[in-house]
Amino acid sequence: MNKVFEVPLYAYTRSPDQEAAAPVRHAVVVVGAGPVGLAAAIDLAQQGVEVVVLDDNDKVSFGSRAICFAKRPLEILDRLGCGREMVAKGVQWNLGKVFFDDRKVFEFDLLPEGGHEFPAFVNLQQYYVEEYLVHRVRDLQAQGAGIEVRGGNRVTAVEDRGDHAALTVETPEGAYAVEADWLIACDGAGSPIRRMMGLDFVGRVFEDNFLIADVVMEADFPTERWFWFDPPFNRGQSALLHKQPDGVWRIDLQLGWDIDKEAEKAPDKVIPRLKAMLGEDVQFELEWVSIYTFQCRRMERFRHGRVIFAGDAAHQVSPFGARGANGGLQDADNLAWKLKLVMEGRAPDALLDSYDDERIFGADENILNSSRSTDFITPKTETSRLFRDAVLDLAERYPFARPLVNSGRLSVPCTYDGSPLNGPDALPGGPARTRPGAPCPDAPLADGYLLRRLGGHFTLLAINAEAPETLEEDGIVAGRLALTTADDPEGHLRARYLGAAARAVYLIRPDQHVAARFERFDAAALRRALRIATGREVA
Amino acid sequence: MSPLTLEPNIDRPDDFYADLLAAHEGLTKAQSDALNARLVLILANHVGDREVLRQALAAAAETNPREEDPK
């Protein structure tokens, strides 16, 4: 059985900060060493920002928790130096089956779009994601980067002092004070930082309980996602079976609202449930059992002066659609480059407000999708159950009803339509999927993939077009990536970036979202787009 | 895009109405409700046009519920 989550990865050690006469000031303190906190810290460290991560624990998350990582977060993790090992370890699947009562009503093939380095998603236990991120932290430390993870460090007080944040941190050897120019709170849905600051977290509570069980079994279930509505082994409720690496299977059973949580978690209750589902003869071992309820809610604003919230601390969704960790990694991706520019005085403080605009937009999209999935999976009124069952009955016979079946809409990246950072969309005939605000879709080139070439800085992507090697505007440098459709072996670059246009010049942000696009290089227009994308000019 | 048709549009309406009742004959209330739900979904898919569907939902919702009828 896999016990990676029982090994301390960043055990408590005494920090020199604990000896200091006056509180030591750090550039950035991240609270929470989950996937989002670690990703934010690595992103900043890669850009040369000094960062300290505090976590009250000293090991990766207990149990598999988030298990489905989507393409865009994998691309982000690749930019952070660990996407490929996650894909190598993760389980890829394309086939899903939907069951209703005792029959299979249909199956679907995700038919992932070609021409991407990363798959649509992989199943991978959160503890592996955290482990790989911690390895990456160690690599960066070996290269001399100023990044540190302090286990056994629990924040007990926080105060925004206008030009910095002050923290009190409890450790096994007593409390100490520390300061940060900027504090990033990634301390989870129950965020103690949010509570200490008295900030609200408003939304909808779903009155339901779900039993999550990770079982290790040698079973010949195929690598598919199976979802049951109202199955005989869990009457009136739903069930999910999903494969993870190491022969671990995720089983998710809806239990309803009025249950005794402690009793339901006990093996003598769980094992008969699982046998009813898997069959009496299947041999399995329980790795992890948990019961969860969930909410769909978010903070009114994610940025509060010098304290910025990201991930579940800022927004919480239902698990359907895998939008929690995936959304949080996009928060980190959105925040790191902005914070770096503001810290260096190369962009106004207002650039950080665009983090609120863009990631609240993203959170609302995730909350909307996951609330709708929840309404379908767990109908709360007689009428909603009537329609849900009608959709499932029809789906068995008629293709038209299958798109209405909602067992979770898997995370896709958010296009920041209407963002204050968006510049002109001045490419007649350009594809809608690469309009300003959109995340850049990958494309194979003659010698590798596009996204790797975009890196983590502003880029002038010139396709069949002239552009200078660099464009500098007030200290912000955009480097050119010149491509021609002769570099385009499968035509994906043309389809995704040119459409009906013959040539294009794109301004791409450090988080690989499109800032603006034009038919040709025009220095004045691109300088203005660069000012808009860094919050120096309002579009 | 066409607007929702609220003028008579069914050929031989009495025959259609008889077909509708016949489809429900012998069903329990629960079976009838399920049949109606399937029928709504099949017809909605046939219409397809979201704007027409929106108008249809509004027209159905705006029609006074029985308890407000001045009997």
What are the boundaries of each domain within chain A?
4-87+120-201+296-368, 425-533
Query: How far, in Å, CA of A141 to CA of A51, rounded?
Result: 11
Q: How far is A388 from chain B (nearest CA, A)?
A: 9
- Tokens at residue A319, please? 């698990």
Task: Count CA atoms within 13 Å of residue A386 on its CB side.
Answer: 16
A282 interfacial to chain B (CB closer than 8 Å): no
| pLDDT attached to residue A61 | 79
Chain A partners of B37 at a C-beta cutoff of 8 Å? 386-387, 389-390
Interface of A with B in 360-399 (CB under 8 A): 386-387, 389-391, 393-394, 398
Give the right CATH number for A425-533 from 3.50.50.60, 3.90.640.10, 3.40.30.120, 3.40.50.150: 3.40.30.120
Chain B partners of A401 at a C-beta cutoff of 8 Å? 41, 45
Contacts of residue A11, defined as CB under 8 A and 6 or more positions apart, other chains included, come to: A58, A151, A152
Q: Where are the alpha helices (DSSP H) in A53-111?
A: 71-79, 83-89
Number of residue pairs across A and B with CB atoms under 8 Å?
25
Q: What is the Cα B14 distance to its own chain's centre?
A: 15
Pairing of strands A24-31, A51-54: parallel
B33 with A404: Cβ contact below 8 A: no
Among residues A66, A125, A82, which one has the least CA distance to residue A326?
A: A66
A386 with B34: Cβ contact below 8 A: yes
Q: Do A327 and A412 meet the contact criterion of CB atoms below 8 Å apart? A: no
Phi then psi for B34, rounded to 5 degrees?
A: -65, -40
Predicted ipTM of the assembly: 0.92
Helix/strand/coil for A499 = coil
Confidence class for position B1, pLDDT limits 50, 70, 90: low
B33 with A394: Cβ contact below 8 A: no
Chain A partners of B48 at a C-beta cutoff of 8 Å? none
Q: Do A321 and A331 meet the contact criterion of CB atoms below 8 Å apart? A: no
| pLDDT attached to residue B25 | 98
Q: How far is A396 from chain B (nearest CA, A)?
A: 12
Residue of B nearest to A400 (CA): B45
Question: Using CB atoms within 10 A of its CB, is residue A157 exposed (0-12), middle (13-18) or buried (19+)?
Answer: middle
Chain A partners of B33 at a C-beta cutoff of 8 Å? 386
B41 with A393: Cβ contact below 8 A: no
A230, A381, A384, A387: best mutation site toward chain B, by most B Cβ within 10 Å?
A387
| pLDDT attached to residue A2 | 52
A393 with B42: Cβ contact below 8 A: no
Chain B partners of A386 at a C-beta cutoff of 8 Å? 33-34, 37
Is the domain defined by A4-87+120-201+296-368 classed in CATH 3.50.50.60?
Answer: yes
Q: How far is CA A340 from CA A43, A143, A416, A535, in A?
A: 10, 20, 20, 13
| pLDDT attached to residue A204 | 86
Query: How far, in Å, CA of A49 to CA of A363, rounded?
Result: 27
Chain A partners of B34 at a C-beta cutoff of 8 Å? 386, 389-390, 393
Look at residue B71 and tell me whether its pLDDT is greater than 50.
no
What are the average pLDDT values for consecutive 10-residue runs of chain A, which has 539 residues? 72 96 98 98 97 94 86 96 96 93 92 91 93 97 97 97 97 98 97 96 88 88 92 94 93 92 92 91 90 91 97 92 92 98 95 97 93 92 97 97 93 92 98 98 94 92 97 94 91 97 98 98 97 94
B28, B29, B41: best mutation site toward chain A, by most A Cβ within 10 Å?
B41
Interface of B with A in 10-69 (CB under 8 A): 33-34, 37-38, 40-42, 45
Q: How far is A376 from chain B (nearest CA, A)?
A: 15
Q: Do A179 and A165 meet the contact criterion of CB atoms below 8 Å apart? A: yes
A410-435 in b/e form (b: 16+ CB < 10 A) is bbbbbbbeebbbbbbbbbeebbeebb
Q: How far is A104 from chain B (nearest CA, A)?
A: 19
Averaged pLDDT for residues B12-18 = 98
